[in-house]
Amino acid sequence: MSLIATSSTDIKFHLWLEGNLKYSYLPVSHSSGFIKTLSWAKDGTWLVLIPTSGYAEIVSVKDSVKLLLKIKDIHQPTCAIFPKTTKKYIALGTYSGQVLIYDIKNKSIRKRFPRASSWIQNVDCNANDTHLAAATSAGDILIYNMTASNLIATYKIPNCSSASTICFHRTKRNLLAAGSEEGIVAVWDINTNERKASFQAHYAPVTDVALSPIRSDLVATVGKDRQFMFYDVHNKKNVLQMEVPSSMLALDFSHCGLYLGMGSQNGHVVIYDMRNLAKPVSAFPTHEGKKITRVSFQRALNVTEEESSTTIIDDNFVTNESINDKQNSYTTSPYHFNDQSNTNDQEHAKDIGDSFLVSLENSNSYSIVTTPQHEINFSFPKGTSAVTLESSEKKNQQFLGDVNKKTPASCNKKAASTPKYLQAEVPIGVNSPIISPVCPPVNLTDIKKVFTEIVHEELNTLKADLRHEFMESMAQTRRQFLDLQMFLVKEFINVENTVYKVSGVTVEEYAGDSQVLRENIRLKQEIELLKEKVVEKDNPPDFS
């Protein structure tokens, strides 16, 4: 089972679907502040983190959490991430505005990019590690070419003087999203430098953004206004906006893209299934009373058969008997989702009040029941709206259906059990995306048509990427030739200055051919005078 890492003053690792604490880690450079950043390596075995003060640390997360390397060569780091395709290097930003690539094996700085004018808040690499984005405290988003190590573009979020968070798409290497302290989110295509969308996502600072791995046009955002929302970049509209009882400060999509995890200001983690956003599939405390600064799902592992058996429920696995077994097994959990569908409506409303799940107007609402040991209250203040939908219920179902259709096959693995916080499953007969088939049966012609469209779309994207890379390479080559030519001109001028300084004559005196002619005439006249003097000296006059 994969882990979810959350950071506050320390780092906690939980089995994310069950919520069990697996490991915890306190940085060696421990201080009273919060951990600023954390990032998984591509194989999910290493993690890089940066505490409030001190050096960046790389830890191993296998059978236990242990320190591998403390990077003392880079002073005052502010952010760090592992690239998407390798674990040999890490990208870092510093308080002095430096953006660096660090070689872990050789323990040395491999690349230095042009320095920014202000300190670096966030860095991120695109899907194939050809470009690196860095957000500065002045609100600039700098795009670097990883191969040429040069700055190729600078972006600004419209009507904003800040850039609080940035995020590249995991598979579409050209898509970049960013959020600001003013609550505005923008999305760019770095191949064309086109801003695809910008919108007012929140009326408070945006704390985190993420692009859906399944739908490249879907942006998830959270902010300090106690809202999280989904925005359709292609159609340029708000798809879903929900209110939560506590501000969410961090979010991340799971590796398969089906689950969305969020970390709150009061130290709790809430995980939603993208196929059914009416209720969270898991909620558990991680850092009681402390804000969560980062949430990160563990990246893909070489999962064993035993581990993969608890990943996601298979469509044909859930039965009435298994549901009854789960109800009996998980009634003693510290907090769980309790099925209230069989209780009287008035009694149900009396027990849980104006809760988050009731406000979703779901007839089979699930409330979170807690014990005094770990109490998590997801109820809302009276008079507040727990969910605001721009579209109707029909459009919401259509949106969730689009996610179901793009479900990766790697996520459809059998599960030995459901999360222990779910006391009851969705009843048989409800059209659940887990129990029911994800896609309706289609004929071969439709499959060929869809496949052809996908291939054409990918080919067009590949052509555009190749054209952009070719133009960028040609521009870089032209710049290098111009730099070489300028260098030669400067050297030629330096040589001329040196020659004329030796002869005692400045370059300015030889501004043209006429000046040279006049100088030659003057020299000839001087030569004639000297000859006359020599003749007079050889033949002195006789006065006798």
Exposure string of 303-314, with b = 16+ CB inside 10 Å and e = fewer, is beeeebebbbbe
Q: What is the mean pLDDT of each successive set of 10 residues along the chain, which is 544 residues long? A: 89 89 86 87 92 90 91 92 93 95 93 93 94 95 92 94 94 93 95 92 94 90 93 91 90 91 93 88 90 90 40 33 35 33 36 36 35 38 38 47 50 42 35 38 76 86 85 86 89 84 58 72 88 78 61
Q: Examine residue 519 and state whether it is found in any structural domain, yes or no.
A: yes
Q: Examine residue 531 and state whether it is found in any structural domain, yes or no.
A: yes
* pLDDT, tens only, 195-210: 999 999 999 999 999 9
C-beta of residue 330 within 8 angstroms of C-beta of residue 421: yes
What residues contact 337, with CB distance under 8 A and at least 6 apart?
279, 280, 366, 367, 368, 369, 421, 422, 423, 424
Which pair of tokens denotes residue 225? 């206004």
Q: What distances in angstroms separate CA 142 from CA 137, 272, 465, one per listed residue?
A: 11, 33, 20
Distance CA 98, CA 78 (A): 10
Given this model, what pLDDT does residue 79 score?
Answer: 95
> Quick one: the chain helix, strand, coil %, rounded to 5?
25, 35, 45
Given this model, what pLDDT does residue 398 score?
Answer: 53
Predicted model pTM: 0.61
Specify the DSSP element, H or E, that contains 515. Answer: helix 513-538
Please give the span between the terminal C-alpha atoms of the chain, in angstroms, as a whole number.
128
Closest-CA residue to 80 (of 60, 100, 65): 100
Specify the DSSP element, H or E, that contains 176. Answer: strand 175-179
Given this model, what pLDDT does residue 512 score?
Answer: 54
Residue ranges making up the domain that contains 514: 507-538
Q: Examine residue 527 and state whether it is found in any structural domain, yes or no.
A: yes
What residues contact 398, with CB distance under 8 A and at least 6 apart?
none
Q: Examine residue 285 and state whether it is found in any structural domain, yes or no.
A: no
What is the phi/psi pair of residue 487, to 5°? -65, -45
What is the phi/psi pair of residue 234, to 5°? -65, -45
Q: Examine residue 355 and state whether it is found in any structural domain, yes or no.
A: no
Given this model, what pLDDT does residue 92 score?
Answer: 95
Q: Examine residue 528 and state whether it is found in any structural domain, yes or no.
A: yes
Q: Examine residue 514 and state whether it is found in any structural domain, yes or no.
A: yes
Distance CA 110, CA 465 (A): 26
Q: Do strands 140-145 and 131-136 pair parallel, antiparallel, or not at all (unpaired)? A: antiparallel
Distance CA 422, CA 326 (A): 8
Distance CA 239, CA 243 (A): 14
Given this model, what pLDDT does residue 479 score?
Answer: 86
Number of structural domains (the chain) is 1
Distance CA 238, CA 241 (A): 7
Closest-CA residue to 251 (of 199, 201, 209, 299): 209
Q: Examine residue 455 and state whether it is found in any structural domain, yes or no.
A: no
Given this model, what pLDDT does residue 414 score?
Answer: 40
Beta-strand ranges (E) seen in 26-139 are 37-40, 46-50, 56-61, 65-71, 77-81, 89-94, 99-103, 108-112, 120-125, 131-136
Given this model, what pLDDT does residue 402 score?
Answer: 54
* pLDDT, tens only, 491-512: 888 888 888 777 665 445 544 5
Using alpha carbons only, give the angle 38, 300, 176 rounded to the nearest 5 degrees. 60
